[in-house]
Amino acid sequence: MPEEKYKEIDDAKEKEIDMEISEAAKRVPPESADLSKDPLERIAADQRKTLFFTRIIGFSALVMAIAVVIACVIIIPKAIYTLAKVNNLIEEGSTTLENANATLSNIDSMSAEIQTAADGINKLVDNNSEVLQESVAKLNNIDFESLNEAIKDLSDVVEPMADFFNRFR
């Protein structure tokens, strides 16, 4: 009885293997579906095709890796140089902004001082406006014709005295 069980198991395994082979044959492309060949020959042919495509993929990967390395060798130093320049520009811009802020602060303080000075001048003008108005009124009251005549008369009197003193010199 145990032999019968083993035989049933062997028969089931053989059926399973036959099914797998028939399914694998269905999956094989039509050009390699030549069932007259030995299964090992078919496997070897499939392996050669796989090896061929694997080599193509490997060669492509190698070319891509070389291209990436070359690109990195060329691009990375330029990128580092560019980043250093950008960093310097940012530092210069920051320094310029600090200087501009300092200048604006100085302008603000100067503006406040000018405003204080203008307020002082306004107070001075306000405090002395009456005196200035009186002075302008007195200047308007001066008779310049009479003043000019008096200056001419004085000049006529002083001229002979100047000549007299100039002789003794």
- CA 13 to CA 18: how far, in whole Å? 9
Contact 28, 42 (CB under 8 A): yes
**Confidence at 69, pLDDT banded by 50, 70, 90:** very high
Q: Per residue in 76-95, pLDDT tens?
A: 888 899 999 999 999 999 99
Cα four-point dihedral sign 35, 41, 44, 48: negative
Check: pTM over 0.75? Answer yes or no: no
pLDDT digits (tens, 9 = 90+) for 118-127: 888 888 877 8
Q: How far apart are CA 117 and CA 5, in angstroms?
A: 121
| CA-to-CA dists, residue 65 to 50, 55, 75, angstroms | 22, 15, 15
